[in-house]
Structure 1
Amino acid sequence: TSLYQSLRARGLSNHVAWRVSFAIVPAPVLIFVAVLTLIYGTDHPAGKWSERHSVPATEIEIEQGHDGHDDRDEKLDEKGVGDTSVTVHPVQKIAAIDVAVNERLTIKAAFKILASPVTWLPALAYLTTFGVELAIDSQMSNVLFALYSKKIHGFNQTTAGYYTSIFGFLNLVTRPLGGYVGDLLYRSFGTRGKKVWTLLCGLIMGAALIGGGFYIEDHRTPTKSPSLATIMGVFSLAAIFSEF
């Protein structure tokens, strides 16, 4: 935001200033991370990504340290007239390993995947959480500026951007904390516990967003504005459970 305001002060239009800001800061960072991933990242757990369809599951198992041998004891009972003796012979038996090969994606298989509820459920969950976060990050500064630029002295676009940046910085805490809570729930309640937690987070996020919207609508008048602290608190709550 500060860079954007600086470019605007130098005479650039709104249309150009934000594009130049993106080219100066986010774009180089993204390119740098992409180069690091290209250099140091693992192409594919089973080898080259281009050869993923030609690697049998047997080779993957061997590469991961599974030799496919099963040690068992063969016991033979030899019963006599007055006594019983047991002879134990160790046997090395090679267990059968699945040798299926990954299938290439076809149009028919793609449509089947897209039509499956198992595909849409996590996709919609991601859309309504990360999508909400992106919407807040991109538009909240405009909302705050419209509400308080004429009501609070010195409240400009930069100030609104600083307040909005809080939602982004919450990721430093909410992302690892959400993963930790999810792991704890999985240990105690399994997959069902994580499902319930996901639904609960979504409900709290949705309730906070709806409540915040009604609060702004009910308290916005020509002579009065809604409380800035209340708005930040309500939407921060929504952001926290969105990022969990």
Structure 2
Amino acid sequence: MYNPMLLFQAPEVNPVNRKARSIPGLNPVNMYGRVWFFSWFGFLIAFWSWYAFPPLLTVTIAKDLKMSNNDVLNSNIVALVATLLVRLVAGPACDRFGPRWTFAGCLFIGAIPTFLAGTAYTVGQLMAVRFFVGILGGSFVPCQVWSTGFFDKNIVGTSNAFVAGFGNAGGGITYFLMPVIFDSLVHQQGLTPHVAWRVSFVVPGICIVAVATALLLLTEDTPTGKWSERHLVAQQNLQAHGIQESIVDAPQGVLSEKKGSSSSNSGSSTPPTNENGEKVFMGGEQQPSKFADHEAQMPEQSMLETARGEVVVKPTFKEMMQIIIAPQTLVCGVGYFNSFGAELAINSILGKYYAHNFPTLGQTNSGRWAAMFGLLNVAFRPIGGLVADFLYRKTGTVWSKKIWLVFLAVVTGIFLIVIGVTDPRDQNTLIGLIAGMAFFLEAGNGANFAYVPHVFPQANGVVSGFTGAFGNLGGIVYAIVFRYNGADYAKSMLIIGCMSIAMNIPGLFIKPFPKGQIGGH
């Protein structure tokens, strides 16, 4: 049974990589609690700004810039293109520089076009601004890689799902915040709509800079310290437990740079022990490990597999290409193409769909109902990760996570087909079907990044970046589907549902991870 006190307590950690085996989500003092908070909160702020345009775009901005309906739809597509490119780059950047610095970089760079949003006076200028604001969407990759780097296999799916679920809620929050900010500037500050919508973007810009700065000041690269020394610390942790074998993939430059100070304690000598009789080895000094009281018990073979197969390395270009085209990576990408991709596209048109089928709702009420689709991520995406981790702990095999992922994709497709065939004109029916579809679709997002850490864990950034980029590619493809079907939203839903089922079922016949892979089991 789950112990709620784990939300407050310092977590038990993996003795090799020091990843936590529980989530101290309500403990801001604990290192793991701080990283977990900034992972989801940083992505929430980024998502808010990334999707700050749609709540004001349909009426206020479109009227001010004289945009047609096609201009609005095209701008939604443009906003996804930059994110796709950034996610492809952010993955390898995480493996090279570490997710913390990559995360902060996405936020700082994305804040610039956010501040400049108000300088758009033509449709072309708006397209350019939305393209560069899309950089913020790339922050999802370091958000997930950072979470994966701090939480162990038994809980990583839950952590990633909660982090992304809370972050994705920014897509719903923006439907409430941006109109409130805009209305406040018009009614309380006396600004014209022409000026007010431009000034309103300063608010998320300030928030992005503040969060990125706090992230750098208050958190760490890895549970063991600097990103550049992660291999060395893993090697030392093995020696601390009497295991003298080397990490095959550890960069020799990193190890040799530090070994001078630790040579007297390496070799076949017995590592020192602390007051509890536990072996510790920290560099060249005999000192008790700060994690000693919280270390999980692991057999020697599992510790070796963790060190050799799950400590992130910098892949060569050739290795990166081999990882990207591997069937297991494609399963992750296809799953996210149809879950997050569909979510992005549907989130952009849902307000219009409600207004089209139920004109009496008006812009405000249809927008609020549409916002619920994004806000449901707070509950539904975490469920996908929670169930995935539960199945993994019960079965002891990654197959359970992959089957769960495909199941969610197929049921999502069925809901979309039902919506497409019936195109309900009863408000409760349509909203109910959308909510049911949202459960399986958003849980699929969570299940996907519960599975990702098991696939090529030594190159988690590459796999995460590719998967995240594929999600954006799905958003672009499905946005184009909506673009060319016009007001026939039901037909677009039907097409997306059929594609989701057809693309995901073949994944059932692919092994969860490549033959011979050491870590991730």
2:316 maps to 106
Answer yes or no: is the 8 Å Cα contact 2:182–2:200 preserved in 1: no
The answer to whether the aligner puts 1:184 opposite 2:378 as a matched pair is: no
Higher fraction of strand = 1
Deviation at 1:146, TM superposition (A): 2.1
Q: Distance in 1 between matches of 2:349 and 2:363?
A: 12
- Look up the SS of the partner of 2:381 in the other structure: helix
Distance 1:124 1:20 in 2: 39
Query: For 1:26-175, what aligned pairs fall within 5 Å after superposition?
Result: 26-49=204-227, 51=228, 57=231, 59-62=233-236, 64=237, 66-69=239-242, 95-98=244-247, 100-102=249-251, 104-149=314-359, 152=360, 155-175=361-381
- CA apart distance, 1:203: 0.7
C-alpha deviation, 1:174, in angstroms: 1.5
State the Cα distance separating 1:45 from its structure 2 match.
Answer: 4.3
Aligned to 1:86: none
- CA separation of 1:146 and 1:211: change in aligned 2, threshold 3 A: same
Question: Does the 8 Å contact 2:186/2:193 carry over to 1?
Answer: yes
Please point out which of 411, 416, 430 is paired with 1:204: 411
Q: So what's the TM-score if we normalise by structure 1? A: 0.69
Q: Which moved more, 1:172-181 or 1:101-110?
A: 101-110
Equivalent-residue separation in structure 2 for 1:5 and 1:213 (angstroms): 35
Deviations 1:37-92 (A, max 9, x none): 2122222345433x36xx6x454231x4742526xxxxxxxxxxxxxxxxxxxxxx
Report the residue type matching 1:233 in the other structure: G
**1:3 maps to 2:192:** no
Cα deviation digits, residues 13-45 of structure 1 (max 9, x gap): 6xx876654443x44443333222212222234
Pairing partner for 1:237 from 436, 452, 473: 436
Distance 1:191 1:38 in 2: 34
Q: Which has the higher helix share?
A: 2
Contact 1:185 1:194 in 2 (8 A): yes
Contact 1:208 1:234 in 2 (8 A): yes
Taking a change above 3 Å as real, the CA distance of residues 183 and 114 of structure 1, as seen in their structure-2 partners, is closer
Query: Could you tell me how far apart the structure 2 residues matched to 1:209 and 1:38 are?
Result: 42
Distance 1:240 1:22 in 2: 31
Which whole-Å CA distance do the structure 2 matches of 1:115 and 1:19 have between them? 43
Q: Report how far residue 192 of structure 1 moved.
A: 1.6
**Structure 1: 5+ residue stretches without partners:** 71-94, 220-225
Instruction: Classify the secondary structure of the residue corresponding to 2:240.
Output: coil
Residues 177-231 of structure 1: per-residue CA shift (max 9 Å, x gap): 3322222211222322221111111111111112112222xx6xxxxxx111111
1:147-186 CA-to-partner distances (Å, cap 9, x unmatched) read 222xx2xx21111111011112212222333322222211
The whole-number CA distance in structure 2 between the counterparts of 1:99 and 1:58 is: 12
What residue identity is the alignment partner of 1:242? L
Structure ranking higher on relative contact order (CA contacts 8 Å, 6+ apart): 2
Take 2:328 and 2:378, find their aligned partners in 1: how far apart are those partners?
A: 30
Q: 2 CA distance for matches of 1:4 and 1:214?
A: 39
Q: Distance in 1 between matches of 2:357 and 2:336?
A: 30
Change (3 A) 1:208 1:215: same
RMSD value over aligned CA atoms?
2.9
Q: CA deviation at 1:5?
A: 6.7
Structure 1: distance between partners of 2:394 and 2:381: 20
Counterpart Cα distance in 2 of 1:31 and 1:46: 27
Contact 2:323–2:329 (CA<8 Å) still a contact in 1?
A: yes
TM-score, with structure 2 as normaliser? 0.35
